[in-house]
Amino acid sequence: MEGMRYDAIIIGSGQAGNPLSQALAKLGKSVALIDYSWLGGTCVNTGCTPTKAMIGSARVAHYARNAARWGVHAGFVTVDMREVLIRKNEIVEKSRTALETHVQTQPNIHLYKGRARFIGPKEIEVLTNKLEADQIFIDTGTNATVPKIRGVDSVNYLTNEGLLELREVPEHLIVVGAGYIGLEFAQMYRRFGSEVTVISDGGQILPKEDRDVADELQLSLEAEGIRFIMDARINRITRTARQVEFLFEGAPDDTIYGSHLLVATGRKPNTSDLELNRAGVDVDEHGYIRVNRRLETSAPGIWALGDVTGGPMFTHISYNDYQIVFGNLYEGKDLATDTRIVPYAVYTDPELGRVGITENEARKRGYKLKVGTVKMTDVARAIERGETHGMMKIVVDAANDRILGAAILCSEGGEVVQILSTLMLAEKPYTLLKGAIYIHPTMAEGLYSLMDNVKPID
């Protein structure tokens, strides 16, 4: 069959692929955009948009249920999951529709709905169509992994996608995994009214974070009634008539029971059906596409962007991947992934805003350090809001007083940390903020005390 010829082929319409298609179309390039599902990728459909919408509903339930703490008596609180899902779906559908409409109105973009596979270095097959282009961009993202636990395939486990569609509040939700996704869902469903137990084979929650920050968040979640079983080795999972049964090796309890199981133990790349070997695109042992600092693959004229590269798995990083590739190819820039400063947030409550490297990582790299911390119990705005769980932490290079990283664990921590992120972008010392004027009272005002507490450490 004779192929359709394009200037560019983009596989995947996530937060890198979609803006890239729009930018290329504006330059007059002919673009084939391929996606087998809804436009918008994980973020719009099964990630950021739906989860944060539901976290918003859960937060209101939490405030209403605990309103007496603030002298407000709201009465008996119930959660209608049908209405929660309707609200969430309306927000998601609005985003999907906007993307679809925008693509359909671009004459230079031809949308193909189906799964793509390489049939040659510059050739793609989707459904019965053969497409050709000198530039091909891969933005196929990831999906949930399932741990190799005996019996897991027999218990109707849920991943993040399935849990987002659950029409009832679980009686007892068991979460396997204590990373970002697992903790957000654990708190969300605890606030909806579920009993929640988090099981992890690690010694701390959020294993990529510093221990003091992780422990502070765990204390806050435990205060809401979430149970944690750490350093656990699950021997077998079975389902009885009504419950999921966990048997452990060396855990505090030999057996626990739950009504629903969420598997949140990591992600794997959507590369297995692309037949990348036909294009000469290398992948690592986990299936992630190998790229250089400019996001070029091993095959000339093929780039990979977003989560499929195995880099930081955040929507804003996928978008920045688009900025890097487009800037280098069409704007005469010299951008790379190894020089960027990466901020991110974990949407628990308190919210963890993070940027740069941790104290633990800085020590491994051999830096001489200064570190500052302050508890939210010492921040006026947190006291006034009645939300004093959390802490602020800053890690500084003692050689030049520049910020290496920071963790802000408080209400709106993701907003506050971006103040420090901006200072890092400007390559200015942390001392610049010691003389700053902060609005009183705000969470950011806690930076006063944080800066004053910075001290050299061994």
Taking only the tens place, the pLDDT of each residue in 160-197 is 999 999 999 999 999 999 999 999 999 999 999 999 99
pLDDT band, residue 235 (cuts 50/70/90): confident
Check whether 62 has a pLDDT greater than 60: yes
Give alpha helix (H) positions in 124-235: 160-163, 180-192, 211-223
Confidence category of residue 255, pLDDT binned at 50, 70, 90: confident
pLDDT of residue 254: 66
Tens of pLDDT, residue by residue over 411-427, are: 999 999 999 999 999 99
pLDDT higher than threshold 80 for residue 232: yes
CATH number of 343-457: 3.30.390.30
Quote the pLDDT of residue 52: 98
73 is catalytic: no
Task: Give the dihedral sign, CA 103/106/112/115.
Answer: negative
If one counts every other C-beta atom within 10 angstroms of the C-beta of residue 35, the result is: 25
| Neighbouring residues of 24: CB distance < 8 A, sequence distance ≥ 6 | 7, 8, 10, 31, 108, 326
Considering 62, 110, 286, 440, which one is annotated as catalytic? 440
pLDDT of residue 2: 58
What pLDDT, in 10s, does the model give residues 146-166?
A: 999 989 998 889 999 999 999
Sorted by where each begins, the domain ranges of the chain are: 4-143+268-339, 152-265, 343-457
Strand 4-11 and strand 31-35: the pairing is parallel
Q: Which residue has the higher pLDDT, 232 or 375?
A: 375
Q: How many helices (H) and strands (E) does the chain have?
A: 12, 22
Domain pair 4-143+268-339 / 152-265, same fold? yes
Residue 249's pLDDT is what? 67
What per-residue confidence (pLDDT) applies to 250?
A: 55
Angle at CA of residue 13, ends 166 and 326, nearest 5°: 145
pLDDT digits (tens, 9 = 90+) for 359-369: 999 999 999 99
Distances from the Cα of 177 to the Cα of 171, 191, 239, 430, angstroms: 19, 19, 19, 35
- pLDDT cut 90: percent of the chain above it: 91
Residue 55 makes CB contacts below 8 A (sequence gap 6+) with 184, 187, 188, 347
Q: Tell me the percentage of the chain whose pLDDT exceeds 70.
A: 98
Query: pLDDT value at position 71?
Result: 97
248 confidence band (pLDDT: 50, 70, 90): confident
**What is the tens place of the pLDDT at every residue in 111-147?**
999 999 999 999 999 999 999 999 999 999 999 999 9
Task: Write down the pLDDT at residue 243.
Answer: 80
- 4-143+268-339: what fold? FAD/NAD(P)-binding domain (3.50.50)
Please determine, for residue 253, whether its predicted confidence score (pLDDT) is greater than 70: no
The pLDDT of residue 215 is above 70: yes
Asked whether residue 370 carries a pLDDT value surpassing 90, the answer given is: yes
Which two three-digit tokens encode residue 173? 């939700």
pLDDT (0 to 100) of residue 246: 78
86-90, 145-149, 402-406: range with lowest mean pLDDT? 145-149
pLDDT at site 112: 96
**Is 82 in contact with 90 (CB distance < 8 Å)?**
no
In degrees rounded to 5, what are phi and psi of residue 164? Answer: -70, -15
Confidence category of residue 227, pLDDT binned at 50, 70, 90:
very high
Q: How far is the first Cα of the chain from the last one, in angstroms, to the nearest whole number?
A: 68
- 152-265 has which CATH code? 3.50.50.60
